[in-house]
Amino acid sequence: MKTKKLIQQLLDLKNRHIELINDSRNINHTCGLASNYSELIHRIADLLKTSKKALEGIHAVPETNPTEIEYNVADVIGIAIKLLPFSEMQFIDETMELLSEEASTDTKH
């Protein structure tokens, strides 16, 4: 009985928090950048690394227009922020809490 309740609670959390990529609901709000969350995090990291390199190189080439590069980098960082799976991180936090509560209940019996 406990297992069914735990599974139902986990499914409720999934339905409430999994927003960007959810195969069971045929949802992918990453514009084709990622097919799963691991891939999504790697794409976000790549965007941020590219932005960092661009900012580091602004003054390396004198004929470039730093203001234009800064705007482009700001746009890339904005995209990375929009892709961050905030709701999904809430799912992980709540799932971990639920599993921790379940484990402590099991050890008391």
> pLDDT of 65-80, one tens digit each?
778 888 899 999 999 9
Mean pLDDT, the chain, rounded, equals 87
Rounded Cα distance, 1 and 4, in Å:
5
How does strand 27-28 pair with strand 21-22? antiparallel
Whether residue 1 is predicted with pLDDT greater than 70 in this model: the reply is no
Rounded Cα distance, 57 and 15, in Å:
43
pTM > 0.85: yes or no: no
pLDDT at res. 46: 95
Report yes or no: 80 and 47 within 8 Å, Cβ to Cβ: yes
Rounded Cα distance, 27 and 24, in Å:
8
